[in-house]
Amino acid sequence: MTIRRGRGVAAVNYPTGMNLGGDPSQALVHSTPTGNFMVTLSSVDLGQGLKQVMAQICAETIGVKTEQVIIDTADTDTGPHCMGTFASRGTHRIGNAVIQAAREARQVMLEVAAEALEVDAGDLDTDGDGNIHVKGAPQKSISIFDTALMAHFKLGRSISGRGMFLVPRSYPEVETGAMKPSTCYAHACTVAEVDVDDETGEVTVISMKNVFEIGRALNPKMVEQQLVGGSWMGISHALYETTEPYYPKRDHAGTDFNEYLMPGPGDIAPTEIIVLERPAEDGPYGAKGPGEMCANPQIPALANAIFDAVGVRIDMMPITPERILRALREKQAA
């Protein structure tokens, strides 16, 4: 029995948004009487933190603190249309809608403040800390709190905005397949290192080094949670997971988490994440959608590392110890 070490590389890209477009999302933003901001959506947070990133995008655009922004979402009676949370589209599509709505609301807010300060709205800026001031003259200022009160009770204005993002649908050309499938692409390159036991076929992932280019890390902590989780899922896809272990036969099908194989805590490799930022021209503050892409490169990187270690190619996912062992025996026999 020998433990053999190998490493492999893979490089990928991934489209942001529903392929071929036609995937709209809308957002509404309004201020409360005391200058907090409500973002109304019908988008769904799947646990990835969509609400948090939308709050930060709205806060950045209006010029307030994130904690002053409340996200009201996932209710078809109150929220405007969103196509859904899938296709790596949440941050990009909904984020762009929130920016547009927040810009419109910010413009009204500045117009109200301009009236209070008796200046031109174009001369005003926010300090990001709850105040609006004349550019170059920070002492001439009014709080957003007072601005909102004035809008509500004195001027009768609604500090609000509407946002919409739509990529027009593209239909593939029948003969050539010419089409515009996406607006921007995220990228990745992963190097996987493994030990393979040539007696049992078992694979131990020694390290997973991932480089991701995602446009812009709008919340680096949340980016990290998604990319690390994705990298683990890649390992899981490569080495463990299937509902039909002997596809196309339908026996041995897993029906719960005892039978459906996934890596346990001890099977998770040391994971390194490096993020590059090349802002997307059409992304919200440059962001692309890395949600799906981040679970892909680990699979071929592991397949290539296993070949590097023991010299057999497993061209069928998942790469189980049984398949490795059978390939090793076949190679020996040849």
Partner 1 sequence: MKLAKSYFADQRTDDLKELGQGLPRSDVPGHVTGKTTYFADRTFPGMLYLKMVRSPHHHARIRSVDLSDAEKHPGVHRILTHKDIPHNLYTILILIQVGPEDEHVLAEDKVRWKGEAVVAVLADSERAANEAAAKVKVDYEVLPDVLDIDSALAPGAPIVNEHHGQNYYMYDSGQSRKVRYGDVEKGFAEADHILEQTYYSSPIEQAPMETTGCIVTPDGNDRFTCYTNTQAMFFTLDNTSIILQMPGHKLHMVGGTVGGGFGGKVDVTVEPIAILAAKLTGRPVSFIYGRYEEMQISSPRAAEKIVLKDGVMKDGRIVARQVWGYTDAGAYSRHSPYGAQKGAAHYPGPYTIPNVWVDTWCVYTNRTPSSAMRGFGVTIADFALEVQMDKLARLIGMDPLEFRFINAYRDGDMKAHRQPTTGAALIECMQEASRVANWPIAEKYLEMSSYKEV
Give min distance, CB of 331 to partner 1, in A: 16
Calculate ∠ Cα 280-277-27, nearest 5°.
45
CB 19 within 8 A of CB 167: no
Of residues 294-313, those binding partner 1 (CB under 8 A): 295-297, 299-301, 303-304, 307, 313
Of residues 63-102, those binding partner 1 (CB under 8 A): 63, 65-67, 73-77, 79, 81-87
In whole angstroms, give the CA distance from residue 322 to residue 200: 8
Cα 72 to the center of its chain, rounded Å: 20
In whole angstroms, give the CA distance from residue 6 to residue 194: 5
Q: Which helix (H) or strand (E) holds 327?
A: helix 321-333
Contact residue for partner 1 among 154, 200, 247, 329 (CB under 8 A): 247
Contact residue for partner 1 among 32, 274, 322, 330 (CB under 8 A): 274
- Distance in angstroms between the alpha carbons of the first and the last residue of the chain: 20
In whole angstroms, give the CA distance from residue 225 to residue 290: 12
Contact residue for partner 1 among 272, 321, 326, 328 (CB under 8 A): 272
Of residues 148-187, those binding partner 1 (CB under 8 A): 169, 172, 174-182, 184-185, 187
Q: Is 11 in the site for partner 1 (CB under 8 A)?
A: yes
Of residues 180-239, those binding partner 1 (CB under 8 A): 180-182, 184-185, 187-191, 209, 211-213, 215-224, 227-228, 233, 237
Give min distance, CB of 90 to partner 1, in A: 10
Q: Say how many residues make up the chain.
A: 334
Of residues 311-330, those binding partner 1 (CB under 8 A): 313, 315-318
Give min distance, CB of 248 to partner 1, in A: 4
Contact residue for partner 1 among 130, 245, 263, 321 (CB under 8 A): 245
Give min distance, CB of 47 to partner 1, in A: 6
In whole angstroms, give the CA distance from residue 249 to residue 106: 59
Nearer to partner 1, 154 or 221 (CB): 221
Side-by-side strand order, sheet with 124-126: 124-126, 131-134, 137-143
Of residues 27-46, those binding partner 1 (CB under 8 A): 42-46
Give min distance, CB of 233 to partner 1, in A: 7
Per-residue mark of binding to partner 1, 109-148 (x: CB under 8 A): -------------------x--------------------
Nearer to partner 1, 22 or 321 (CB): 22
Closest by Cα among 16, 2, 4 to 306: 4
CB 102 within 8 A of CB 62: yes
Give min distance, CB of 197 to partner 1, in A: 21
DSSP code per residue over 138-191: EEEEEEHHHHHHHIIIII----EEEEEE-PPP-PPPTTT------S-EEEEEEE
Number of residues counted as binding partner 1 (CB under 8 A): 125
Nearer to partner 1, 116 or 321 (CB): 321
